[in-house]
Amino acid sequence: MSTMLTFEDALQEIKQSATLRVVPQTIALSNAAGRVLAKDIVADIFVPPHDNSAMDGYALASGDWQADKAFTISQRVPAGQSAQPLVPGTCARIFTGANIPSGADTVIMQEDAKCVDDHVAFAHPPKKGDNIRPKGQDMQAGQTVIKAGEKISPMHIGLLSSLGITNITVYKPLRVGILTTGDELIPAGETLKAGQIYNSNGPMLKALVTQAGHQVEQCLHAADSPEDTEAALKTLLQSCDVILSSGGVSVGEEDHVKGVLEKLGTVHLWKIAIKPGKPLVHATLEGIPFLGLPGNPSSTLVTYHWFARLLLSICSGQKAELPPSYLVDAGFNRTNPIQRDEFLRVFIGQDGLAYAHPQQSSGALLAACESQGYLHVKANTQIEYGCSYSFYPFSGF
Ligand X SMILES: Nc1nc2c(c(=O)[nH]1)N[C@H]1C(S)=C(S)[C@@H](COP(=O)(O)OP(=O)(O)OC[C@H]3O[C@@H](n4cnc5c(N)ncnc54)[C@H](O)[C@@H]3O)O[C@H]1N2
Q: List interacting residues with ligand MOO (CB under 6 A).
A: 275-278, 294, 296, 299, 362
At closest approach, how far in Å is the CB of 334 from ligand MOO?
16
Task: Please state, in angstroms and rounded to a whole number, the distance separating the CA atoms of residues 329 and 383.
Answer: 10
CB nearest ligand X: which residue? 295
CB contact at 8 A, 209 and 216 = yes
Q: Figure out which of the listed residues 156, 175, 214, 278 binds ligand X, where binding follows CB under 6 A.
A: 278
Q: Is residue 44 a contact partner of residue 144, using CB atoms and an 8 Å limit?
A: no
Specify the residue, 223 or 320, whose C-beta has the smaller distance to ligand X: 223
| CB nearer ligand MOO, residue 52 or residue 296 | 296
Q: Can residue 317 be called a binding residue for ligand X (CB under 6 A)?
A: no
Q: Determine, following the binding rule CB under 6 A, whether residue 177 of this chain makes contact with ligand X.
A: no
Q: How far is the CB of 240 from ligand MOO (least distance, A)?
A: 25
Judged by beta carbon, residue 131 or residue 299, the one nearer ligand MOO is 299
Is 202 a binding residue for ligand X by CB under 6 A? The answer is yes
Smaller CB distance to ligand MOO: residue 343 or 391? 343
Which x/- pattern, by CB under 6 A, does the window 10-49 give for ligand X? Answer: ----------------------------------------
User: Least distance from C-beta 153 to ligand X, angstroms?
Assistant: 32
Residue selected from 139, 168, 249, 328 as contacting ligand X according to rule CB under 6 A: 249
Which span (150-158, 241-249, 314-322, 374-382) binds ligand X, by CB under 6 A? 241-249
Binding residue count for ligand X, defined by CB under 6 A? 27
HEC string of the chain equals: CCCCECHHHHHHHHHHHCCCCCCEEEEEHHHCCCCEECCCEECCCCECCCCEECCCEEEECHHHCCCCCCEEEEEEECCCCCCCCCCCCCEEEECCCCECCCCCCEEEEHHHEEEECCEEEECCCCCCCCCEECCCCCECCCCEEECCCCECCHHHHHHHHHCCCCEEEEECCCEEEEEEECCCEECECECCCCCCEECCHHHHHHHHHHHCCCEEEEEEEECCCHHHHHHHHHHHHHHCCEEEEECCCCCCCCCCHHHHHHHHCEEEEECECEECCCCCEEEEECCEEEEEECCCHHHHHHHHHHHHHHHHHHHCCCCCCCCCCEEEEECCCECCCCCCEEEEEEEECCCCCEEECCCCCCCCCHHHHCCCEEEEECCCCCECCCCEEEEEEHHHC
Closer Cβ to ligand MOO, 172 or 275, answer by number:
275
Kindly compute the dihedral angle of the four CA atoms of residues 310, 314, 318, 323, in this order, to the nearest 10 degrees.
10
Q: How far is the CB of 296 from ligand X (least distance, A)?
A: 4
Give the one entry of ligand MOO, ligand X, none that residue 182 binds, where binding means its C-beta sits below a cut-off of 5 to 8 angstroms depending on kind: ligand X
* Segment contacting ligand X by CB under 6 A, of 27-35, 97-105, 174-182, 282-290: 174-182
Using CB under 6 A, which of 51, 217, 241, 255 touches ligand X? 255
Site string for ligand X, 283-312 (x = CB under 6 A): -----------xxxx-x-------------
Closest approach, Cβ 264 to ligand MOO, in A, equals 24
Phi, psi of 335 (to 5 degrees): -95, -15
Stretch that binds ligand X, among 58-66, 235-243, 274-282, 347-355 (CB under 6 A): 274-282
Residues lying near ligand X in the complex (CB under 6 A): 180-182, 184-185, 197, 199-202, 246-251, 255, 276, 278-279, 294-297, 299, 362-363
